[in-house]
Amino acid sequence: MKNRTKLPNIFLGVVTVVFYLPILLVILYSFNESRISSVWEGFSLKWYAELFRDKALLEALMNSIVLAVLSSLAAAVIGTLGSVGMTRVKLRTNGLIEYISTLPIMIPEIILGIVFLTFFSLISLPFGMTTLLIAHTAFCIPYVFILVKARLAGMDKSLIEAARDLGASEFRAFLDITLPLIFPAIASGMLLSFAMSLDDVVISIFVTGVNTNTLPLKIYTQLKTGVTPKMNALCTLMFIVTFLLGVLSVYIGKNPNSNHQKEERL
């Protein structure tokens, strides 16, 4: 269905531009000679130089990315399986478990952080990537679960029944029918989880271990001494890298044997 007017696209364009405005300013100020953001003292690359000398910060960045990928994956698997499972198997406890699993986003992170800390100490889990991963997965699952559930809500259940009647196993039906249909929801959930994990500082501070520093932690804990443009420089680089990755993925996605065709079939 083609748009009859250009209005919708103009709307999309305007909102996107406004969305990017602060980011462009962040990038601009990463070249600021002055340490203070309210004064522009001229163009300088010194913060980038400082950034590359700060090995600890770069290591923290690496940790954050790994953590974000792993927790969004874990959340995707657990959340999707759970969501799909609940539509197939109607147990009475489903509602309760669903509610509990979405609680992590209902509670301020700070209390969640402290509670996780105490709980993990109680069961003697090693603090570090393990505890970080568990905590992050816990607050990422709701995103995947809720989005997949919304997508499943409108799905035609008879499709699965038809497949089963034609001899497909439960597993096959899931793989060939359900999964492709809910894939956009899973993808959205994963992308949101990735962002949430990458940005989390409050919970991470409490459950991280001595050898595992994450990027947002480094940024937030600089508040006492004042955030320097070094952070702007880091964010600029992250932005450029992810932008390039994104452009790359769009080109790779132009493969004719992609989901697009599968959707058309259904």
The site for other proteins, by CB under 8 A, has a size of 146
Mark residue 91 as left, alpha or beta (left: phi above 0; alpha: psi -120 to 50; beta: remaining): beta
Of 95, 157, 175, 176, the one binding other proteins (CB under 8 A) is 95
**How many helices (H) and strands (E) are present in the chain, helices listed first?**
13, 0
- Cα–Cα distance measured from residue 205 to residue 114, given in angstroms and rounded to the nearest whole number: 10
CB 228 within 8 A of CB 245: no
Beta-bridge partners for 32: 43
149 contacts other proteins (rule: CB under 8 A): yes
CB 257 within 8 A of CB 238: no
CB 206 within 8 A of CB 221: no
C-alpha angle 218/221/225, rounded to 5°?
115
| Beta carbon of residue 5, minimum distance to other proteins (angstroms, whole number) | 11
Query: Within positions 111 to 130, which residues make up the interface with other proteins, using CB under 8 A?
Result: 111-112, 114-119, 121-123, 127, 129
58 contacts other proteins (rule: CB under 8 A): no
Identify the three-state secondary structure at position 264.
helix
| Beta carbon of residue 75, minimum distance to other proteins (angstroms, whole number) | 10
Q: Which is nearer to other proteins, 31 or 174 (CB)?
A: 174
| Beta carbon of residue 66, minimum distance to other proteins (angstroms, whole number) | 5
Compose the 10-39 pattern: x for residues touching other proteins by CB under 8 A, - for all others: -xx--xx--xxxxxxxx--x----xxxxxx
Query: Within positions 227 to 266, which residues make up the interface with other proteins, using CB under 8 A?
Result: 227-228, 231-232, 235, 238-239, 242-243, 246, 248-250, 252-255, 258-260
Of 33, 59, 159, 262, the one binding other proteins (CB under 8 A) is 59
| Beta carbon of residue 249, minimum distance to other proteins (angstroms, whole number) | 5
